[in-house]
Amino acid sequence: MRSLQILVVDDDDADALMISEALETAEPRATVRRVVDGQEALDYLRRKGRFSDAHRPDLILLDLNMPRMDGRETLAAIKTDETLKAIPVVILTTSSATPDIVASYQHRANAYVTKPFGLEDFESTVRQIDRFYREVAVLPEADCSRPAVYADCAWGTPARMADNKNEAPEDLGLPVSYMVLADGTPVWDRAGDRVGTVEHVLADDQEDVFHGLIIKTHDGHRYASSDQVDGIFERGVIVAVPAAQLAEPSADGPAQVVDNDRLKNELKRAWEWLIQPRS
């Protein structure tokens, strides 16, 4: 399992230390570099001055409130730079203000996370971010540390498809919300084998709760609950198990989930959706 190169952009020494300790004590240990404001971050990413030997990071953790150039300006600069905009940027900040959240996503932040107050919660949150981008998300495999190939790593580069059309592409793009997931989106398992396509997203939109996916497979419809969905990306979905291990929607629920009321209810809802008449 590979470790990540992570750039921390934060002017708060205490927060930066907690982030570094959380990442450097995880397994595998991340390589952490820290800069104190947006201007230093851009110099680092563009290898200017004392950062001439810097390595291109796999992930950027970016604070918003910093002197000289704050996180808002920095995010906009990164995401409008053709050589940098493919790098995932997670906003990690104390601000929970709605305008900051909206503006960050409008400027193509990959995620927005508020800093917890307790030390244990803070470190746990940082490790979850690291684990997601290390174990679930698909990051560019090209050697983007060399300027000559920066263009190959830019946002919007088409996915490189596997030789077998039933295998997942090497690049599924960036993580997205279930709310923008389209019917017909391809689904793969962790091994990269094709499971099927998304038939329907089961969710409670008013409460913003994602329950799972109805998936059309070669052997009929299957249901992947939210805890079986490893990741939802721009060009596909990864589920934890092969198609054969996913439950079938039914009115009563299969025998193997007899003691799981939540899953039984979701399978019934999936079955009811499937039997609805459609024009």
- Give the residue with greater pLDDT, 258 vs 80: 80
Residues 27 and 122 in one domain: yes
Residues 88 and 217 in one domain: no
Which positions ≥6 away from 185 have C-beta within 8 Å? Answer: 197, 198, 235, 236, 237
Write out the residue range of the structural domain in which residue 236 sits: 178-275
Taking only the tens place, the pLDDT of each residue in 209-220 is: 889 999 999 999
Residues 121 and 199 in one domain: no
Assign residue 225 the CATH number of its domain.
2.30.30.240
d(CA 197, CA 52): 45
Q: Is residue 235 part of a domain?
A: yes
Structural domain count of the chain: 2
Residues 85 and 120 in one domain: yes
Taking only the tens place, the pLDDT of each residue in 47-88 is: 888 888 788 899 999 999 998 889 999 999 999 888 888 899
Alpha helix segments (H runs only) across the chain: 13-24, 38-45, 71-79, 98-106, 119-131, 261-275
Residues 220 and 109 in one domain: no
**pTM of this structure:** 0.52
Residues 144 and 29 in one domain: yes
Residues 192 and 116 in one domain: no
Residues 125 and 220 in one domain: no
Confidence at residue 154, expressed as pLDDT on a 0 to 100 scale: 34
Q: Is residue 99 part of a domain?
A: yes
- Give the residue with greater pLDDT, 38 vs 160: 38
Residue 101 to residues 20, 64, 71, 155, 243, Cα–Cα distance (Å): 24, 10, 12, 21, 37
Taking only the tens place, the pLDDT of each residue in 147-161 is: 333 333 333 333 334
